[in-house]
Amino acid sequence: MSTMPPPRGSSLQVTLDSPGPSRQPSPPPPPPLPDPLLDEAEEDADRELFLRRQKEYTDLERSVEASAELLTSLASYLTTFQDNLGEVSGQIADLQARSDEIERELKGRRVILPPLNALLSDLIIPTSLVLTIRDTEPSANPQMWLQAIAELEDKMTAVKARGSKVKAARELESVVEALALKALHSLPPFLLTLIRPLRSVSKGLSTNLAVMQTSLLLKYQPFYAFLLRQSPRHAKMVERGYVNAARAYFETGIRRYARALGAIKARAPDKPDLIGSVSAEDLADVKKTPPGIKAMYDRLQFADLEGEGEASAVVLAYQADDVKFALPVEAVFRSLGLVVLDNASSEFTFIVRFFARPALARERPERVRSHESTPLDSPVLGPVSDTGRSRLSTRARRTPEPELKDAERIWHEVLDSGLESATSLFNACIATPPPAIPLLTMIRANDRLLSIAEGRGALPLVPFLTGWKMALWPLYRKAMDAHIESLKALANEAEGKGLAGVFGKGVKDAAVRAVAVRYAALFACVVALSDEAEEAMMFSSMTRLRAELTRLIQIQAGKIKDVPARHSFLSSIYEAVMHELVAGPGAPTHPRLQAELSFFRTREEEARRRIAAR
């Protein structure tokens, strides 16, 4: 009996229970058998579809084969590229190692490059430097020589410093020494040529020394500094040449000026003017200030060095040719002091700036490019005025003491002979001692000269001016003692003591009034010329003089029998003293003047009270 196949799409499932402790899963059922009728139809359809698309399948197969070949070629290329890439990677690693090695070498060379450049810069001598020193003279192109000398000295220092370690530096020593030797023989004659105009000053003093120092000598001071560093013997030659020429210049100039001032002073001699000696001029009009006192007030202006107007101007030598031109001794002393101060201080400033020992360390100059066309500015130096009123430069103020000693020595060699003429005129001025107030005026002017000299740093001039001061003070004290003695003698005469009292004609009231006014004028002048440091010494003499004046006034008043008239006389005398104290040149607020006014005001008020009491 045949079995019918199951319907299409169905499946026969048979479940078998396998014996055993566990059940195993059954295998999947077999695929259903194809339907023969359906498969043929589909096959035909597929065949027909295949035939229609045969060309496409053929092209696709070819494309697949081409892609396979391409993939095979690409795989081969990638394999080759991988091999090449490995080789390149190895080469890159080698190059990196080489680069690192080169970088280390470069760093090492960078480290030695600056000292190597410095060595080459120090050892290379420019052709222009050699040509400038070898083939030219300083007088032909001094500007070029200034720069050449500075660079030559730098080369000498560098070669000397490197000679012990660098063979090339030792080989250059002979070349540098030859150039230095040529410079040492060329520079002294050039500097002495600049000084030569001073040697003819005895024929007319036509050379302006200050202008020559500022515009020429200081401009070429580096030449002298080079000589002083490299060959002191050649520098000494230049120093001696300048000292001899400048000494003749100042000696002649100061001698002629002192002679002119002496002639002017001789035309206005001072007459004895003791306070106790009353002249007829003083008695002419007791209500007015005597002309002698007014002249004394006017002469106080010569104590001020910075005054204005013709009276305060420095006397010029040619003014002595006018036989009518005359000045008091204070004016002559003031002019002499100012001329000495200005010339001495400006000369010391120049000596310090020119002859001071140069510093070892200097700024490196610019390179010399050519001995024919290299532009070079001259060294910048502060100007020194013709009157020498400028202060010392910073360099001079900071100059060490040994260098100032050399400058002082040169200064004395230049000016001592000229200052002898100034001292001779000073001694002539005080040979016949002037009155007390002119002497005090000269002392004050000298104090201001001292102060300015110290401010300018003119060290060697300070002892010279101090000597003048030490000579003037004893004369002033002696003059004040003479005033005191003269007033004492007048009081004795008024009292009838001594020979003056026996043989004298007596003292008149007008004379006492004139003496009192002159005392007040003298006191006001001392106040105007007072100095706080010397007040005790100055006013001790005035205190003694006031004691004698008070005694004279009391003696003279005692001669008046009528009491009201006596006190009226005292009141008028005291009032005249106070009036002159206030009208004088002394500062009204000065403590000494206030104390003096208080002293006489008290006595004047006492006299008035006694007059009123009667």
Determine, yes or no, domain membership for 423.
no
**pLDDT given for residue 597 in this prediction:** 94
Residue 371: the pLDDT is 33
Q: State the number of CA atoms in the 13 A half-sphere of 209 facing the CB.
A: 26
For the chain, the domain total comes to 2
* Structural domain that includes position 585: 475-613
In degrees rounded to 5, what are phi and psi of residue 555?
-65, -45
Give every residue of the chain whose pLDDT is below 50, as ranges: 1-23, 201-202, 204, 360-399, 501
- Out of 215, 230, 245, pick the residue that ends a domain: 230
Residue 105 inside a domain? The answer is yes
Nearest alpha-carbon partner for 196 in 182, 217, 215: 217
Kindly state whether residue 6 falls inside one of the protein's structural domains: no
Domain boundary among 210, 230, 250: 230
Among the listed residues 6, 8, 48, 11, the one whose alpha carbon sits nearest the alpha carbon of residue 28: 11
pLDDT at 526: 94
Q: Where a domain ends, among 230, 259, 288? A: 230
Radius of gyration of the chain (CA): 58
Q: Is 125 helix (H, G, I), strand (E, B) or coil?
A: coil
Residue 288 lies in a domain: no
Is 36 a domain residue? no
Helix, strand or coil for residue 307?
A: coil
pLDDT in the model for residue 13: 42
- Tokens found for residue 139: 């007088």
Q: What angle do CA 539, 543, 547 make, to 5 degrees?
A: 165
Domain-embedded: residue 424: no
Length reported for the chain: 614
Q: What φ, ψ does residue 204 adopt, rounded to 5°? A: 165, 0
Q: Is the residue at 89 inside a domain? A: no
Could you tell me if residue 34 is left (phi over 0), alpha (psi between -120 and 50 degrees) or otherwise beta?
beta
Residue 251 lies in a domain: no
- C-alpha–C-alpha distance, residues 325 and 314, integer Å: 14
